[in-house]
Amino acid sequence: MDVTWQPKAYKNYKYLVKDPDLLGGSLAIRGTRLPVWMILEGLGNGMTLDDFEESFGGFPKEALPEIFQAAKELVEQSDNVAA
C-alpha cells in the first residue's frame, strides 16, 4: 500500500476530496472514509457534529461549511440542467 497516496481535491476545497480510488469517487471528507452524502443524511436525521465525532473519530467539524457549500453548488447545477 502506498502511504504517500493522497486523494484528489474537489475543486479548491480544503476538506473535500473526490477521487475514483476513494469510495468509488464519491465526494468525501479529507482524511476520512466518510462520504458527504452520509454527513448530510445524518444531519437531516438529527445527528449532531458531536455525534459524528463520537461515531467516526477524526471528523473535522471545520469541514461543515464546505459540505454545505458543495451541496448548494450541486443542487444549483442540478436545477440548471433540469431547466
pLDDT digits (tens, 9 = 90+) for 40-77: 999 999 999 889 889 888 889 899 999 999 999 999 98
CATH node for 16-82? 1.10.10.10
pTM metric for this prediction: 0.82
Cα separation, 18 vs 30, in Å, equals 9
Average pLDDT over residues 3-10: 87
For the ranges 3-7, 55-59, 79-83, the lowest mean pLDDT is seen at 79-83
Cell representation of residue 49: 457534529
